[in-house]
Structure 1
C-alpha cells in the first residue's frame, strides 16, 4: 500500500492530466454545442472552467515538483518526468496569468471581436491559448505513459 504523499502524487497527476483532457475535449465543446445561440455565455462558462482547471494544474504541479525534490533530492533534476511537470506548470502559468488576462482585456475592449488566427485580436489570443493548452495535454499524456515517475 502506498503512503499518503505517494497517494497524493497519484491523485494530483490524475486530476491534473485527466481534468485537462476532460475539460478541453469534452466540457468546452459540449458547452458550445449545447448553447449554439449564446456563444458569449458558452465562452464565459468555458472560461470559468478553464480558470478552475488552471488552479488545479498550479496546485498539482507544485505538489508534484515538491514530491520529486523531497523523494529524490537533486536526482529529481535527472528525471524526465520532473522536467515535463515543470514545463506543464510553466505553460499553465503563462496561460493563466498572461494569456487569459489578455483575452479578458480584448473582450472588454472589442466586444468579442475576432480577427484572423494570427492577425491580432481575440482570435489570435484564443489560438495562442489553445496551442498552449494542447501542449499541456500532450505533455500530460507523455507524463502518464512514461511510467511511475
Structure 2
C-alpha cells in the first residue's frame, strides 16, 4: 500500500493532536499535579487586602517582630515597649508545597517571645504571617524562610 504526501500530513497531524491530548488528559486527572489556588476564598480575601497593607505599614513604622531559628524551633520576639499581655492575634504558617501542613496559632504570650516548636515544622520553605493588635491598632508581619 502506497501513502501519498497528503495522507502522510493528515496522519502526522492526527498523531500530534493525539500526543498533546494524551498529556492534557493525564495532567488534569493526575493527583500529583495539584492546581489549587493559594487560598480557598481568593476573591473574598482580596477585598480585605487594603487592611493588610495598612497593618503591614503600621508594623514597619512602629513595631517590628524578629523571627529567629533555633534548635527548639522558631522564636518570634515582639517589641520591648509593648505590654505582652495586651497583644492579641494569630500566627499563620503556610507551606507552599503542601496545604495539609498549614496551621494557625492564637497568640497567648507569657513574655515577649513566642516559641513555635521544632516538631511542628518540617524542613523546607514556610511563609509566616503574624497578624496582631495592640491597643486597637492592627499590625502585620510577613516573612518567608527556609527551615
Task: Identify the TM-score tier after normalising by the shorter chain.
Answer: under 0.3
When normalised by structure 2's length, the TM-score is: 0.27
Larger helix proportion of the pair: 1
The structure with the largest alpha-carbon Rg is 2
